[in-house]
Amino acid sequence: MTRPTIAITMGDPSGIGPEIIMKALALPEVHAICRSLVIGDAARLRQAGRIVGAGIAVDSLPDAGAAKFESTAVQCVDLNLVPEDLPFGRLSAAAGEAAYRYIEKAVRVVQAGQAQAICTAPLSKEALHAAGHKFPGHTELLAHLTGTPEVSMMLVSPKLRVIHVTTHVGLIDAIARIEPGLVERVIARGHDVLVKAGIEDPKIGVCAINPHAGEGGLFGRGEEAEKIAPAVEACRARGWDVSGPLPADTLFFLAGRGDYDMVVAMYHDQGHGPIKVLGLESGVNITVGLPVVRTSVDHGTAFDIAGKGIADERSLVEALRQATALAPKSAPATHATPSSTG
C-alpha cells in the first residue's frame, strides 16, 4: 500500500516545532509509515537540525510537486518567511504571521491532492493575534480556511479518547453555549470517526457539567436535564451505544480502564486534564469535522525550552501515526515514486 503524504506545518518558528520536526523525521519508523512534507522555512529547519543533532539534510522546495520522497533529506516547501535573526523562545508578530501562512499553504496542498492529511506543530495564539489573525487556535483557524461551519476537537492517548463540546471559551461562556443540538452533533462527529477507524459499535460516555451529574438537581440549575440528556436520548434513538450525562470523575476512570471507547467532555479543562495526566508525550489532537484530516501534538510552543535541543518529539510521532491511520489510503499519481527510505 502506498504511504500517504502528510503535510507537516512547522508551527511557530520561535517555538519547539522546528526541533521536534527534525527529531521526528530522523526516525526510520516515521518514514516507514508515511511520506513527510514540511510546510515551513528550510533555513529554520536546518538551524533546528544542528541544535538537536538530527544529522539529516533539508531540501528547499518551491512547491509540493517538487518533492522527492526517495531522498533521505527532509522535504520542505520553503515559504522563506523567518528573519535570519529571529530568536528562539521569544514571542513575535513575525513568527505568528509565519505560522499562519504555513497552515494556509498546507490547506491548499491537501485540497490540491498533493497530500492526504495535515499534521501541525504548535503555534502561539498570542503571536497569531499579534500578527492580526484573531483565532483562538488551530481548530478555529482550520475551520475558517476550509469554510467549515463547525468542527470538534478530539484528544487521543493510548488509553483514552475525548471529544469536546466546547473548547477555547471561558467556563461561564461554555456552559451558556452548550445546548442539545450542539451536544448531539459533537457525539455524531465522534461516532463517525470511531466507526471509520474500525470500531463497529463504539461505546460512548457523555460527561455531565456539574459534580455528581447534578445529584438530581442538588448541584447546578438543571443543566444536565436541559442541555445534555435530550442529545443522549436522540443518539440512542439512532441505535448508538451512548450513556449519560455521567459524573465526569467516574466516567474518566471507567474510560481509562477500557469501559468506553470515547468520552464527550463539556468544556476544555474537563477533557484536557485527564489526557494530560496520562502524558503529554503520548497525546494527539485531532480536528473532527473538517474536509481534510488534521492531527496535532497535544502541547504548546514551549518557549522556555525552545532552541535548547531538549524538546520531546514523541507526541509529534504519535500525531503522524494518527494522521497516517486516518488519511485516505490512496496517494495521488502526481507525486514522485516513493522508496523505503521515504
Q: What is the pTM of this model?
A: 0.81
The answer as to whether 286 is a domain residue is no
* 36 φ, ψ (degrees, to nearest 5): -100, 130
Q: Does residue 43 lie within any of the structural domains? A: yes
Q: At what angle do helices 17-24 and 314-326 cross, to 10 degrees?
A: 70
54 and 23 Cβ atoms separated by less than 8 Å? yes
| Residue 172 lies inside a defined structural domain of this protein | yes
User: What is the predicted pLDDT for the residue at 329?
Assistant: 59
| Residue 285, SS3 per DSSP | strand
Q: Are residues 255 and 196 in the same domain?
A: yes
According to the model, what pLDDT value does residue 197 have? 76
State which of 229, 246, 277 marks the end of a domain.
Answer: 277
Q: Which domain holds residue 273?
A: 159-277
Q: Give how many domains the chain has, as a whole number.
A: 2
CA distances from 335 to 2, 63, 257, 280 (A): 11, 12, 43, 34
85: CB partners within 8 A, 6+ apart: none
Shared domain for 140 and 181, answered yes or no, is no
Encode pLDDT of 269-283 as tens digits. 999 999 888 866 667
Low-confidence stretches of the chain (pLDDT < 50) are: 331-342
Residue 28 burial class via C-beta count within 10 angstroms: exposed 0-12, middle 13-18, buried 19 and up: exposed
Amino acid 338: pLDDT: 32
pLDDT, position 314: 92
Q: 40 and 18 in one domain? A: yes
The answer to whether residue 141 is domain-embedded is yes
* pLDDT tens column, 155-164: 988 889 999 9
CATH number of the structural domain spanning residue 145: 3.40.718.10
Pair (164, 247) in one structural domain: yes
